[in-house]
A and B are shown apart, each in its own frame.
Chain A
């Protein structure tokens, strides 16, 4: 089976600092990949390079059999890549329903060329909000939400773009146990619907429960990639997390 995402020898520098050094990564359709690594290991930089927020200096990214190199971030979203941000970035001046309307208008419509009727948009926004348990707050502003609700809104907005691949960047950071369970259940449900998910996370219990495969970045290099139970025993990974 050809991979959905193929990252080939990707490198990124910030002046003298090497943030990513020859990263190779493949993600199969429908897979749940956990991406872990200590702070500053390059996880978010890798996500930014894949999603087009940053441009990589070397290497290439292929998605669904086509290259993404040189495409702007919004064009990559149109191709079926969606992401949530480490710190939630809602559109503050818009209600929750309008937050979800943006990807529907700008991605789904651009991709499929179909004209949604006003009622279709409303119904789809309601459906997505219901999926994340925020339907009763559809007309509220993001500032009225709690932290976990904000994370859910972020995921719902990514889902509104009807992606093939969702990259969830630390969607559980700062949440309580029960809230982590909530988000995890949501991500698993999305994966059951056929969406490939890359989960970047520091909460190891969540990563182990979620991931079918685990990749580890340390200082901009991939040091391990394999079954979660094998990867956590990998000496390089243990060294990176616990020291010599």
Chain B
């Protein structure tokens, strides 16, 4: 399927989901759906650097939080519509992604991962000490009850759901396009063997910087509407461990080498977490992630997609 056909199909599926959700008209579906869609964007963004390029980023929560806090900043300074905030979130997080990449990409393996973790701590400390965006006490965002969207008066949560759905579709189209492009091949060579990639003429540093920028920008996009979704943003929730862990766990469970992996992982893990939240407690979310991650590392180290690909290959070969 070529990129145009895929993009149109993805947009059609997104639209169908939106119409279906509107037809059901259940507010909880929007809340739960928003969270799952947000994880699709985060996991897809993580996968651009971690999956395609092989650089494991433990600082996803920081990029997400930067997107969220850029919205808080604008809310206080000059309130803007959420789609504009998403663009600003993407720009700020993308620039920080580029800067962080430039500083850390000469590190490899565990050293790179530790550096991204440290970067998250640095940004959290900065936000905690920045009074204008609420500092350690947090910031309240008062969102309107309804908003006019496509000529209709809709609940704000439905509006946010629609925006996050659009972001998820854009993220998936971008990831699939990268995967099948020259850039995608180049990133895969870095994941496989960076020295051999350079010897083949691949400008590894430039490609890694593109990957960190894109990855950071999408994480920032996922974070930008978050203050409007949650209503009260504090550093502990924006920089929460669950974002960093889920961003890694979801692609690992689905499979890191294709765009489909993060999508499957996010739907599986996100749905399980939402189910646990309403039936048991939100506190078991991380336990579910941990258990599923351990199970998949043992049963399918290359994720569900990797498992299917291996079986297909084994069937084809004598």
The interface bits of chain B over 165-197 (1 if a CB of A lies within 8 angstroms of the residue's CB, else 0) are 000000000000000001001101101110111
**A180 at the binding interface (Cβ < 8 Å):** no
The number of residues on chain A lying at the interface, defined by a beta carbon within 8 Å of a beta carbon of chain B, is 32
Instruction: Name the contact of B198 in the complex, choosing from A73, A105, A158, A160 (C-beta under 8 A).
Output: A73
**A93 at the binding interface (Cβ < 8 Å):** yes
* Pairwise interchain contact B201-A77, C-beta atoms closer than 8 A: yes
B-contacting 9-mer, from A23-31, A82-90, A184-192, A206-214: A82-90
**B152 at the binding interface (Cβ < 8 Å):** no
Q: In the complex, what distance in Å separates the CA atom of A70 from the CA atom of B199?
A: 16
A-contacting 9-mer, from B7-15, B85-93, B202-210, B285-293: B202-210
**B200 at the binding interface (Cβ < 8 Å):** yes
* Pairwise interchain contact A94-B188, C-beta atoms closer than 8 A: yes
Q: Could you say which residues of chain B place their CB within 8 Å of the CB of A160? A: 200
For chain A, residues 88 to 105, give those with C-beta under 8 angstroms from any C-beta of chain B.
Answer: 89-94, 98, 101-103, 105
**A204 at the binding interface (Cβ < 8 Å):** no
**B257 at the binding interface (Cβ < 8 Å):** yes
Residue of A nearest to B201 (CB): A107
Q: In the complex, what distance in Å separates the CA atom of A163 from the CA atom of B310?
A: 36
B187 CB → nearest A CB, Å: 11
* Pairwise interchain contact A157-B200, C-beta atoms closer than 8 A: yes
Q: Could you say which residues of chain A place their CB within 8 Å of the CB of B182? A: 105-106
**A72 at the binding interface (Cβ < 8 Å):** yes
**A74 at the binding interface (Cβ < 8 Å):** yes
* Pairwise interchain contact B198-A93, C-beta atoms closer than 8 A: no
Q: In the complex, what distance in Å separates the CA atom of A144 from the CA atom of B182?
A: 25
**A150 at the binding interface (Cβ < 8 Å):** no
Q: In the complex, what distance in Å separates the CA atom of A110 from the CA atom of B202?
A: 10
Asked whether A53 and B192 contact (CB < 8 A) given A74-B203, A105-B182, A105-B185, the answer is no
A38 CB → nearest B CB, Å: 24
* Pairwise interchain contact B198-A72, C-beta atoms closer than 8 A: yes
* Pairwise interchain contact A73-B191, C-beta atoms closer than 8 A: no
The number of residues on chain B lying at the interface, defined by a beta carbon within 8 Å of a beta carbon of chain A, is 22
* Pairwise interchain contact A82-B198, C-beta atoms closer than 8 A: no
Q: In the complex, what distance in Å separates the CA atom of A85 from the CA atom of B195?
A: 10
Q: Could you say which residues of chain A place their CB within 8 Å of the CB of B200? A: 74, 77, 102-103, 106-107, 157, 160-161
Q: In the complex, what distance in Å separates the CA atom of A144 from the CA atom of B316?
A: 13
* Pairwise interchain contact B193-A72, C-beta atoms closer than 8 A: no
Q: In the complex, what distance in Å separates the CA atom of A51 from the CA atom of B196?
A: 11
For chain A, residues 38 to 62, give those with C-beta under 8 angstroms from any C-beta of chain B.
Answer: 51-53
Q: Could you say which residues of chain B place their CB within 8 Å of the CB of A53? A: 195, 198-199
Asked whether A98 and B185 contact (CB < 8 A) given A89-B193, A91-B192, A92-B192, the answer is yes
**A78 at the binding interface (Cβ < 8 Å):** yes
Q: Could you say which residues of chain B place their CB within 8 Å of the CB of A158? A: 199
A157 CB → nearest B CB, Å: 7
Q: In the complex, what distance in Å separates the CA atom of A22 from the CA atom of B107?
A: 31
Q: In the complex, what distance in Å separates the CA atom of A91 from the CA atom of B188?
A: 8
* Pairwise interchain contact B185-A89, C-beta atoms closer than 8 A: no
Q: Could you say which residues of chain B place their CB within 8 Å of the CB of A106? A: 182, 186, 200-203
The interface bits of chain B over 300-318 (1 if a CB of A lies within 8 angstroms of the residue's CB, else 0) are 0000000000000100010
Q: In the complex, what distance in Å separates the CA atom of A53 from the CA atom of B191?
A: 17
Q: In the complex, what distance in Å separates the CA atom of A98 from the CA atom of B192?
A: 13
Residue of A nearest to B198 (CB): A73
Give 24 pairs: A residue, B residue, CB < 8 Å, sorted on A. Answer: A53-B195, A72-B205, A73-B199, A74-B197, A75-B203, A77-B198, A78-B201, A89-B193, A89-B196, A90-B193, A90-B196, A91-B188, A92-B192, A93-B188, A93-B192, A101-B185, A103-B200, A105-B182, A105-B186, A106-B200, A106-B201, A106-B202, A110-B201, A141-B313
Nearest 8 CB-CB pairs, A to B?
A: A107-B201, A73-B198, A89-B196, A106-B201, A77-B201, A91-B192, A103-B200, A102-B200
